[in-house]
């Protein structure tokens, strides 16, 4: 598949009302804000989208809303369809193809885990086959799934079973394995980088695209990292990457999901609270966080 997820891809938040119900009216504002921020593609219903805290019907409704909102625009939509139930994954993938999404992606089942690389390939193949006309990206995120196999070996075995395999969403800090994936089979696969704090390192290894949660609210910062790297200004690139690290550490100190969604609210995009088991900030914490973000220049 010839698609390339180059540039910044925002792993979007799923918007909720204060009571926790879906608030899909916010999607239009999310799309406008991201497009204005320099983001060209959204990755919906993934980890940042709290996919494992959504029902199947909610995930179907989310994908339908996003594809409706971006129709006729330049913003592309990748639908994450991974789930512990492969039948649900296939349902989501089939819908994504019907909605003419840009691509699908799926992480590994994480409760009953695949016990071998061959079993992982079999799971991914089942999901990808439900949307054979769309490019498929395997979503490698071992820190969350607990499923850790060699991704270079995955790229050796998977194409025979997954003809629409486009590449890997590589949310894994193993830069050596990342470099090997970039060069697998003559470099034919698209391997967007998925660890925001290490973007500069990935660029040095050859990354051309990146999928991340903090691109929702800090895309201009990362565009500075990319521009400085491309111009050979490593001093600026390193300084901006350090600002990214400090931002993410700040949010993680409050509980990353709730703090990240609160940050979107500070920017005028009311994506609402996080769902349990993720937590949310108290009123005092919201005031404190906003002050810290403003002091760091992150809301300007």
The string of DSSP codes covering 224-258 is HHHHHHHTT-HHHHHHHHHHHHHHHHHHHTT-HHH
Tokens of 124: 């991914």
Assess whether 169 carries a catalytic annotation: yes
Q: What percent of the chain has pLDDT over 70?
A: 99
Nearest residue to 241 via CA among 227, 231, 261 = 227
Per-residue pLDDT for 225 more than 80?
Answer: yes
Residues 34-67: pLDDT tens digits? 999 999 999 999 999 999 999 999 999 999 999 9
Query: What is the reported pTM?
Result: 0.96
pLDDT for 300: 83
List C-alpha distances in Å: 274 to 2, 19, 176, 216: 35, 10, 34, 15
Catalytic residue among 113, 137, 139, 178: 139
Residues 64-119: pLDDT tens digits? 999 999 999 999 999 999 999 999 999 999 999 999 999 999 999 999 999 999 99
Question: Average pLDDT of the chain?
Answer: 97
Residues 273-283, mean pLDDT to the nearest whole number: 97
Element (H, E) at 265: helix 256-266
pLDDT for 3: 84
Task: Please give the domain boundaries of the chain with CATH numbers for all domains.
Answer: 7-231 (3.20.20.70)
Residues 199-221, mean pLDDT to the nearest whole number: 98
Per-residue pLDDT for 232 more than 70?
Answer: yes
Residues 159-204: pLDDT tens digits? 999 999 999 999 999 999 999 999 999 999 999 999 999 999 999 9
Assess whether 256 carries a catalytic annotation: no
pLDDT for 1: 60
Catalytic residue among 111, 113, 133, 169: 169
List C-alpha distances in Å: 79 to 26, 142, 233, 273: 18, 19, 35, 22
């Amino acid at each position: 598949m010839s698609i390339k997820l180059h540039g910044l891809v925002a792993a979007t938040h799923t918007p909720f009302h204060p009571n926790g119900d879906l608030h899909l009216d916010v999607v239009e504002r999310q799309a406008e804000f991201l497009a204005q921020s320099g983001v060209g593609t959204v990755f919906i219903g993934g980890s940042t989208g709290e996919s494992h805290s959504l029902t199947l019907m909610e995930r179907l409704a989310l994908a339908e809303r996003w594809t409706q909102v971006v129709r006729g625009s330049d913003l592309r939509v990748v639908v994450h369809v991974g789930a512990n139930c492969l039948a649900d994954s296939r349902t989501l993938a089939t819908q994504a193809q019907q909605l003419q999404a840009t691509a699908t992606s799926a992480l590994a089942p994480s409760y009953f885990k695949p016990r071998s690389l061959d079993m992982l390939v079999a799971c991914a193949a089942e999901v990808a086959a439900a949307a054979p006309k769309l490019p498929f990206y395997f979503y490698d995120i071992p820190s969350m799934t607990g499923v850790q196999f060699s991704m270079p070996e995955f790229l050796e075995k998977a194409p025979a079973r997954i003809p629409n395999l486009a590449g890997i969403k590589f949310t894994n800090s193993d830069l050596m394995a990342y470099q090997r994936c970039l060069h697998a089979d003559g470099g034919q696969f698209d391997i967007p980088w998925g660890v925001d704090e290490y973007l500069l390192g990935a660029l040095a290894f050859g990354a051309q695209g990146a999928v991340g949660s903090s691109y929702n609210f800090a895309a201009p910062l990362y565009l500075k990292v990319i521009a400085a790297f491309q111009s050979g200004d490593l001093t600026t690139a390193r300084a901006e990457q350090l600002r990214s690290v400090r931002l993410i550490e700040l949010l993680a100190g409050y509980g990353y999901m709730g703090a990240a969604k609160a940050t979107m609210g500070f920017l005028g995009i009311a994506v609402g609270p996080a769902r349990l088991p993720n937590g949310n900030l108290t009123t005092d914490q919201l005031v404190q966080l906003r002050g810290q973000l403003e002091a760091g220049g992150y809301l300007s």
